[in-house]
């Protein structure tokens, strides 16, 4: 396994994706969104018309899952099913509500874990998800466990989805966040747990930039890594807003 592997785990909506991208950009590392991989596999199963509540059918569908991701040092990860770019298509509420069926299937987790470890062989990676520091990369160089209150996470998700034009209510999102927390923490396979050697970061009252900077400082002190500047346009693309002082 390569060097400079940083894992960021935590519940849905804690800001892992944005913060991992910011930290990766500042450190010159690649960014891996494992949640997007589970979403893509869920979409694959939905398109195949299988019964998602039947693990054997989900496991069988893996043989035809042409899942591919593209990582860069400077931009978001792209996700493909065959030749179809599904990077945005996997962000629907329907996919979100069905992820747990796929995530509970051991064969599916093993399938994606192999892909994730293959990607990490080159090193220089910031990876985020739910079991990166506990299962996929137990020997990672730096492990972060990130969390925020359910209300804060629901508000973030609601803003994100409405900005994309989705017709949802805050109450629906909060219910989904609470349900996913329960499912994620109660799973026997790949459940959400903090690694014993992970550092906790509460993001409830912090901006993504502040949390990312904390991770960058830890990487610099613990891994002797260098940082680089991010221009305002790149920062805007990552955070979705202009970060210049007002």
The DSSP-derived string for 200-242 is EEE-TTS-HHHHHHHHHHHHHHHH--------HHHHHHHHSS-
Q: Which of 8-12, 29-33, 85-89, 225-229 has the lowest mean pLDDT?
A: 225-229
In a domain, 83, yes or no: yes
Per-residue confidence (pLDDT) for residue 19, from 0 to 100: 92
Query: What residues contact 129, with CB distance under 8 A and at least 6 apart?
Result: 8, 9, 16, 33, 34, 35, 136
Residue 101: which domain range? 5-237
Q: How does pLDDT run across 110-156, given as a tens digit for each residue?
A: 999 999 999 999 889 999 998 999 999 999 999 999 999 999 999 98
Q: Kindly report the CATH number assigned to the domain that includes residue 154.
A: 3.40.50.300
Question: Rounded distance, CA 195 to CA 222, Å?
Answer: 17
The number of distinct structural domains making up the chain is 1
- CB 222, CB 29: distance < 8 Å: no
Q: Is 245 within a domain?
A: no
Residue 171 covered by a domain: yes
Pair 209, 241: CB distance under 8 Å: no
Query: Does residue 138 form part of some domain?
Result: yes
Q: What is the pTM of this model?
A: 0.82
- Does residue 130 lie within any of the structural domains? yes
Average predicted confidence (pLDDT) for the chain: 87
- Which pLDDT does position 244 carry in this prediction? 38
What is the structure's pLDDT at 164? 83
Above 60 in pLDDT, residue 46? yes
State residue 161's pLDDT score.
85
Confidence of residue 70 (pLDDT cuts 50, 70, 90): very high
Q: How many CB atoms within 10 Å of residue 228?
A: 9
Task: Return the DSSP state at 165.
Answer: T
Tell whether 49 is covered by a domain.
yes
Q: What angle do CA 139, 32, 198 make, to 5 degrees?
A: 35
Count each helix (H run) and each strand (E run) in the chain, helices first.
Answer: 9, 8
Q: What is the DSSP letter of 139?
A: T
Residue 246 lies in a domain: no
Q: What is the mean pLDDT of residues 69-92?
A: 90
Whether residue 3 has pLDDT greater than 70: yes
Q: Does residue 54 have a pLDDT over 50?
A: yes
Say if residue 243's pLDDT is above 90: no
CA-closest candidate to residue 42, choices 118, 108, 131, 107: 108
Q: Do 227 and 216 contact (CB within 8 A), yes or no? A: yes
Q: Tens digit of pLDDT for each residue in 183-201?
A: 888 887 878 899 999 999 9
- Give the CA distances from residue 64 to residues 37, 41, 44, 50, 209, in Å, rounded to whole numbers and listed in that order: 15, 10, 9, 12, 39
145 is a domain residue: yes
CB crowding 51-86: b at 16 or more within 10 Å, else e: ebeebebbbebbeebebebebeeeebbbbebeeeeb
pLDDT score of 234: 52
């Amino acid at each position: 396994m390569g060097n400079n592997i940083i894992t960021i785990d935590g519940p849905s909506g804690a800001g892992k994706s944005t913060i991992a991208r910011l930290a990766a950009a500042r450190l010159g590392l690649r960014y891996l969104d494992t949640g997007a991989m589970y979403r893509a596999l869920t979409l694959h199963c939905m398109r195949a018309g299988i019964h998602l509540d039947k693990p054997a059918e989900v496991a069988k569908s893996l043989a035809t899952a042409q899942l591919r991701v593209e990582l860069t040092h400077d931009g978001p990860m792209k996700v493909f099913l065959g030749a179809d770019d599904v990077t945005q298509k996997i962000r629907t509420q329907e996919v979100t509500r069905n992820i747990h069926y796929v995530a509970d299937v051991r064969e599916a987790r093993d399938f994606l874990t192999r892909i994730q470890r293959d990607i990490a062989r080159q090193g220089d990676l910031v990876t985020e998800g739910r079991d990166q520091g506990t299962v996929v990369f137990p020997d990672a160089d730096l492990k972060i466990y990130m969390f925020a209150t359910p209300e804060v996470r629901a508000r973030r998700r609601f803003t994100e989805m409405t900005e994309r034009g989705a017709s949802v209510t805050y109450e629906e999102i909060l219910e989904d966040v609470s349900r996913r927390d329960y499912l994620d923490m109660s799973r026997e396979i790949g459940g959400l747990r903090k690694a014993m050697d992970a550092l906790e970061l509460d993001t409830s009252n912090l901006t993504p930039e502040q949390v990312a900077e904390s991770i960058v400082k830890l990487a610099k002190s613990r891994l002797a890594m260098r940082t680089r500047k991010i221009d305002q346009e790149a920062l805007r693309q990552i955070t979705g807003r202009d970060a210049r002082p007002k």
